[in-house]
Amino acid sequence: MKKEVAFTCELPNGIHARPANHLEAVCRQFSSDITLKNLRNENTGSAKSVLSLVGTDTLLNDPCSLIIEGDDAEAAFDMLATYLREEFPLCDEEIVVMDEGDVTLPQSLMNHNPTLIRAKRLSAGIAKGKLIRYNDIELSVFEQEIASLTFEQAKQQVTETLIDKAELASGQEKEIIKAHLGILNDETLNEKVSGFVSNGESLAKAILLTVAAITETLMQSSSAYLKERVLDIKDIALQLLMTAHPHVEVTTDFTLTEPSIVIANDLTPSQFLGLDRAFLQGLILTQAGSTSHTVILARAFNIPAVSGVEIDACAKHEGETLFVDGGLGIVALAPSDAVATYFERAMWLAEQVKAAESEYLNLQAQTKDGHKIEIAANIACTVEAESAFAKGAEGIGLFRTEMLFMDRSTAPDEQEQFDAYKEVLEAAGDKAVIIRTMDIGGDKPLDYLNLPHEHNPFLGYRAVRIYPQFLALFHTQLRAILRAAQYGHTKVMIPMIQSIEEIRWVKAQLEIVKAELTNDNTPFGAIELGIMVEIPSVAFIMDQFCKEVDFFSIGSNDMTQYLLAVDRDNDNVAKLYNSLAPSFLRLLRAVVSGAQAHDKWVGLCGELGANKKVLPLLVGAGLNELSMAAPSIAPTKAALRQFDSEACKALFNEACDCATIADVEALLEAFTQSQEDKPLLDVECVLLDCDFNSKEEAIQTLVGNLGVRGRTHVVNELEADIWARESVFTTGLGNGFAIPHTKSDNIAHSSISIARLNKPVIWSDDEDGAVEFVIMLTLNKNQGDQHMRIFSGLARKLIHESFRNTLKTMTTEAEIISYLQSELSL
Ligand code: PEP
Ligand code: MG
C-alpha cells in the first residue's frame, strides 16, 4: 500500500538535524519505507535516517511530500498527517547556548599590562608550559594510496582495537571509545563508504568522500552538539585509513618532552589520549565547544583548556613559555616577570586550597557536638563518581540518570546503563548510591521521545508521569539498576511522586521486572526504594508514604517552586523564589518529622544543601543527609564543625515561627555571629618572610590566603573590593606600613591579615610610598562600625615608632597576634 502526505515546511531553519531527529524517531515506529521528497529541489531522502533527511536541504516554506509504502502505510499515514500538522512545526526550539560571559580579570594581574587573549572557558585550572602546535593530520595524504585491506577488514581491525582500549579504560574515556564504536557501525557511514567503493572509488577516496559528506551535513546543523561530532567522525576515518594503509607513514605520535601547552585547530579524542599526560599541562583549541569529547576528556583529567583562539594569534609564540587560565578564560602570551609571578602565585594558592580542603576530605561530617549528618554528592555522569569520593563524599545522594539519556538520538540500552550504574556503585565501595530514575520531560525534553510541546512543562508531563507511556524504557532502566545492585549499596529513587497510587504502580513494575530477571536466570541485587519529595502534597500524607517506601530525599529546587508557585527558571519572579520562606521551613519540618516518626531516613539533594548560609537551619531541621555538588563537600564539612546541633535545632524552630523571610534572615545572621566564628586575628592569616615583588602580589596573596583558610568563597570579588578602595586613595600610611581594607559581603569571616615583607614594595607614587608591612582588614558588612573602629585604632597606634618596631621585629606569628589583640583590645 502507498500513501502520501503533502505538507509545507514551516520550520524557520528548515529540516536540520534537530527536527530531522524528531521526524526520524516518529517514522522509525513503522515498518513501511518512508521517503521525504522536497518538491522544490526534487531531493529525496529516507525519513528513517537523520543524515538523509538533512541532505534533502529542505528550507522554510518548501513544499514537501512524505511517501509511505508498506504494510502499515495506513496507520503511518494517520499518525504522520497529524504529526506533521501539529507537532513537527513546533519541534525546532532554539538550543540555548549558555553565554557565561567574560569574567572580570583580577587587578593584581591587569596592573602588569599582560598580553592576553580572551578565550572561551572550557576546563578550569592554570597551566604553565611551552607552546607546542599540534599540526592537523591531513587525511588527504591517503588520497592516492592503494589499500591493503578491504573496508570490512579495516573496520574489523579498528573495532577490535577499540574494544581492547575500552576494556583498559574507565570513566569518560571508556564512554567516548564506546561512542566511537557506535560511529564505526553507523548505517549512513557504512552505506556511504560501501556505495563509493562499489562505484569504483578506491577505499581511501571512499572514506574521504564519506567524511566530507557527513561533515557537510553536520556542519549545517544548528546544533553545537552535532557540529562537535565532526571531530569524532574524523577520528574514526583516520583510524580506518591508517589501518587500511599500514605502509603510509603518518606521524600521529606527537611526543611531548617537557611541560607543554598544546595548541591545535582540531584535536580528536584519540589524539588527545595519545598525548603524554605527564607533560601535557594545558590545551588551547580553535574550534572546540564545551560538549566536544576532547574537552570532556580534558576536564576528566584536570587539564586546563580554553577555545576560540586562532592559531595564527599565537603562532609566533611557539616554543615560548606561556600561561593558560581555564577558569578566567585567558591565554597570557610573552609573560613579563611580573605576569609570570602573578600566575605562579595563583597556581601556588590553588595548591594551598586543595591541601586545606584535603584536611576535611576524609573526616566524618559532624557538628561540633558530634551530631552526624551525611554529606553526599550529586552527580550526573559516571566519571563524576570517582572524583566525588576523592572530594570527600560520604555517598552519592543523587545520581541524575536522565543525563545518560540526553544529547543523543536513541536511549542507552540495558547494557550501557548497567555498565554506568555498576561503575558508580563500584566507585562507592560500601557507601550508598541513590540512583534517581530518569527525570525526563518538562524542562528536560528528549528529542527521540517526541514528548508534546507544553505550555506549562513544570506542571506537565515529566518524570514518573511519563513512565507508563514509555514502559519499555522504564523497565530497561529498572533491569539495569537491579542487575547493577549486586555491586554495591543501591537505593532507587523515583522523581516527582505526588500520590500513593504512583508509588504503588512503580512497586508493581519493580515486581514485574524482578520476576522477568528471575525467569531469565539473570542475577540481581537488593535495593531500597525511596521517593523525591518535590511536590508539597506529599508532606500531608507522610504517614501513608512511610508504609510504602524506605527513604525520602527532598528536592528543594522543585519543592520551593511548587510550594511558592514560582517558576525556578523565570527571571521575572526570581525574587519570589526563596527557600528561607517560613512556609518552606514549615514544610521541611513536616516532611522530616513525618519521616522520622516512622524511623525513615530523609535527606535533601537540591541546591539548598550547598548553601552554607542556610546550613545551621538544615542541621536544625534534623535531616539525615545533605547532597550537593562535589566541590562544596569539603567546605561544608568544615563549616559543619562550627555549629552546635542543639542550638541549630532551637534556631530552626524559631525560624519556623517567623513571619517573613527578612525575619528568618535576621535570625540566621544573629545566630551565625553568635556561634564560635573564626577569630578576627589568627596565625593562619599572618605571613612572615614574604618575598613579594609588588603591591599586586601582596594583595593577591593576602586575599588568596583568605580563600585558602575558608574565610571567603569569592576570592576574585573580595580582591576587587580591596582594589576599589585602593583606587580612591592609597592605603599606604607612611613609615613602611599599609592598611588595605574593605567592608564587604564577600568575606564570610571578618579577618585581619598580616604580611611582613623581606624587602619593601612600592605602594603609591608618594615620596613615602614604599611598604614592608601590610595589615589588611576585610570585615563583614554586617558587623556594624567594627571596620572604622579597627582602622582608626590601628592608624593611631602606627603613629608610635615603638608599636611599629615591635611588629617589625617579633619573631613568631603567635607573638604578633597576641600583641595586636592586646594593643587593639580585640
Ligand atoms: C530538586 O528538584 O531539588 C532536584 C534535586 O531535582 P532537579 O534539580 O534535578 O529537578
Ligand atoms: Mg527536581
**CA–centroid distance, residue 444 to ligand 1 (Å):** 11
Residue 311: predicted pLDDT: 85
- Closest residue by Cα to atom 4, ligand 1, is 555
Looking at the domain assignment, is residue 352 inside a domain?
Answer: no
pLDDT of residue 252: 57
Q: Which three cell numbers stand for residue 232?
A: 569524532
CA torsion, ordered 213, 214, 219, 223, to nearest 10 deg: 150
pLDDT in tens, 710-755: 888 789 999 999 999 988 888 898 899 999 999 998 898 899 999 9
Which atom of ligand 1 is least distant from the CA of 378? Answer: 5
> Residue 261 in contact with residue 131, Cβ under 8 Å?
yes
Assign 375 to helix, strand or coil: strand
Domain boundary residue, one of 301, 332, 363: 332
pLDDT over 90 (residue 89):
no
Q: Number of structural domains, the chain?
A: 5
What secondary structure letter does DSSP report for 536? T
Q: What is the pTM assigned to this prediction?
A: 0.64
- Give the atom of ligand 1 at the shortest distance from the alpha carbon of 608: 3
If asked whether residues 487 and 600 sit together in one domain, one would say yes
- Do residues 651 and 637 share a domain? yes
Give the strand pairing for 120-123 and 305-307. Answer: antiparallel
Give the pLDDT confidence score for residue 477 in this predicted structure. Answer: 98
Query: Which residue's alpha carbon is at the smallest distance from atom 10 of ligand 1?
Result: 558
User: Among this protein's residues, is 475 annotated catalytic?
Assistant: no
Protein residues within 5 Å, CB atom, of ion ligand 2: 534, 555, 558
Does 797 fall in a domain? yes
Q: Is 270 in the pocket of ligand 1 (CB under 6 A)?
A: no
Residue type present at position 172? Q
Instruction: Please determine, for residue 407, whether its predicted confidence score (pLDDT) is greater than 80.
Output: no
How far is CA 157 from each of CA 154, 239, 240, 722, rounded to the nearest angstrom? 5, 10, 9, 61
Catalytic option among 22, 180, 741, 749:
741
| 687 is a domain residue | yes
Q: Are residues 626 and 723 in the same domain?
A: no
* Ligand with minimal distance to 378 CA: 1
pLDDT of amino acid 98: 30
Q: What is the DSSP letter of 373?
A: -
pLDDT in tens, 118-131: 998 988 899 999 99
Indicate which atom in ligand 1 lies nearest the CA of residue 398: 5
Between the CA of 617 and the centroid of ligand 1 the distance, in Å, is: 20
How many alpha carbons fall within 13 Å on the CB side of residue 291? 14
pLDDT digits (tens, 9 = 90+) for 680-714: 999 999 999 999 999 999 999 999 999 999 888 78
Residue 402 CB less than 6 A away from ligand 1? no
Tell me the C-alpha distance between 474 and 464, whole Å.
Answer: 9
* 21 pLDDT more than 60: yes
**Ligand 1 pocket check for 555: Cβ under 6 Å:** yes
* pLDDT value, residue 23: 86
Mean pLDDT on 90-95 = 55
Each residue of 769-791: b (16+ CB within 10 Å) or e? Answer: bbbbbbbbbbbbeeeeebbeebb
Ligand located closest to 557 CA: 1
362 within some domain: no
Q: Rounded to an integer, what distance in angstroms lies between the CA atom of residue 332 and that of residue 680? A: 36
| 3-state secondary structure at position 441 | strand
Which residues on adjacent β-strands are paired with residue 757? 690
Do both 525 and 614 map to the same domain?
yes
**Interacting residues of 662 by C-beta distance below 8 A, sequence separation 6+:** none
> How far is the CA of 600 from the CAs of 231, 347, 491, in angstroms?
50, 46, 13
- Give the mean pLDDT of 202-211: 93
Judged on CB neighbours under 10 Å (0-12, 13-18, 19+), 522 is: exposed
Residues 430 and 471 in one domain: yes
324 and 221 both lie in a single domain: no
* 768 occurs within a structural domain: yes
Helix (H, G, I), strand (E, B) or coil at 306: strand
Residues 6+ apart with CB under 8 A from 310: 286
Which residues are registered as beta bridge partners of 603?
553, 625
| pLDDT computed for residue 95 by the predictor | 32
Q: Does 283 lie in the same domain as 316?
A: yes
User: CA 246 to CA 785: how far, in whole Å?
Assistant: 77
pLDDT(600) > 60: yes
Q: Looking at ligand 1, which atom is closest to the CA of residue 558?
A: 2
Residue 101 lies in a domain: no
**Cα–Cα distance for residue pair 481/549, rounded to 1 Å:** 17
Residue 684 in contact with ligand 1 by CB distance below 6 A? no
Closest C-alpha residue for ligand 1 atom 1: 555
The whole-angstrom separation of Cα 182 and Cα 160 is 13
Give pairs for 96-101: CB < 8 Å, separation 24+: 97/224
CA distances from 425 to 380, 395, 421, 523 (A): 14, 10, 6, 16
Identify the domain boundary among 620, 646, 675.
675
Report the pLDDT value the prediction gives residue 254, as an integer from 0 to 100: 72
Alpha-carbon distances, residue 41 vs 149, 294, 547, 794 (angstroms): 39, 38, 64, 82
| For range 375-395, the mean pLDDT | 90
Same domain, 477 and 562: yes
Q: Which residue has the higher pLDDT, 176 or 483?
A: 483
**pLDDT over 60 (residue 4):** yes
What per-residue confidence (pLDDT) applies to 96? 30
> Who wins on pLDDT, 61 or 747?
747
CATH number for the domain spanning 755: value is 3.40.930.10
Residue nearest to atom 9 of ligand 1 (CA): 400
Better pLDDT: 781 or 520: 520
The 3 state secondary structure assigned to 558-596 is HHHHHHHCCCCCCHHHHHHCCCCCHHHHHHHHHHHHHHH
Q: Specify whether 240 is located in the same domain as 268.
A: no
Return the pLDDT at 733: 87
Q: How confident is the model at residue 50 (pLDDT cuts 50, 70, 90)?
A: low
Percent of the chain whose predicted confidence (pLDDT) is above 90: 60
213: nearest Cα among 195, 194, 189: 189
Mean pLDDT is lowest, of 174-183, 482-491, 654-663, for 174-183
CA distance 14 to 221: 10
Ligand 1 pocket check for 556: Cβ under 6 Å: yes
Where is 720: in which H helix or E strand? helix 715-728
Q: Which ligand is nearest to the CA of 555?
A: 1
- State the pLDDT confidence band at 97, using cuts at 50, 70 and 90: very low
Contact between residue 652 and residue 380 where contact means Cβ atoms under 8 Å apart? no
Is the same domain home to 623 and 731?
no
| Cell reading at 530 | 525511596
117 DSSP β-pair partners: 331
Q: What span, in angstroms and rounded, lies between the C-alpha atoms of 599 and 436?
A: 22
19: domain CATH number? Answer: 3.30.1340.10
CA–CA distance, 308 with 329 (Å, rounded to integer) = 10
Q: Tell me the per-residue pLDDT of 800-813, one tens digit each, with 9 for 90 and over.
A: 999 999 999 999 99
The boundaries of the domain holding residue 704 are 683-824
Question: Residue 185 sits in a domain of what CATH number?
Answer: 1.10.274.10
Answer yes or no: is pLDDT of 767 > 80. no
**How remote is the CA of residue 532 from the centroid of ligand 2, in Å?**
8
Beta bridge partners, 67, equal 4, 35
- The residue among 643, 675, 707 that closes a domain is 675
Residue 224 has pLDDT above 90, yes or no: no
Beta strands across the sheet bearing 321-325? 115-118, 330-333, 321-325, 126-134, 260-264, 280-285, 305-307, 120-123
Residue 667 and residue 708 in one domain? no
pLDDT for the residue numbered 537: 97
Asked if residue 358 belongs to a domain, the reply is: no
Ligand 1: distance of its center to the CA of 557 in Å? 5
Residues 320 and 401 placed together within one structural domain of the fold: no
Kindly give the pairing relationship between strand 551-554 and strand 527-533: parallel
Report in angstroms the alpha-carbon separations of 777 from 51, 675, 722, 726, 814.
62, 21, 9, 12, 18
* Radius of gyration for the chain, computed over Cα atoms and rounded to the nearest angstrom: 31
Any domain includes 249: no
HEC secondary structure over 33-47:
EEEEEECCCCCEEEC
Residue nearest to atom 8 of ligand 1 (CA): 557
- From the CA of 399, how far away is ligand 1's center (Å)? 11
Residue 181 confidence (pLDDT) above 50: yes
Pocket test for ligand 1, best of 403, 462, 605 (most atoms within 8 A of CB): 605
Q: Is 403 in the pocket of ligand 1 (CB under 6 A)?
A: no
Asked if 245 is an active-site residue, the reply is: no
CATH code of the domain containing 274 = 3.50.30.10
Which ligand 1 atom sits closest to the C-alpha of 402? 9
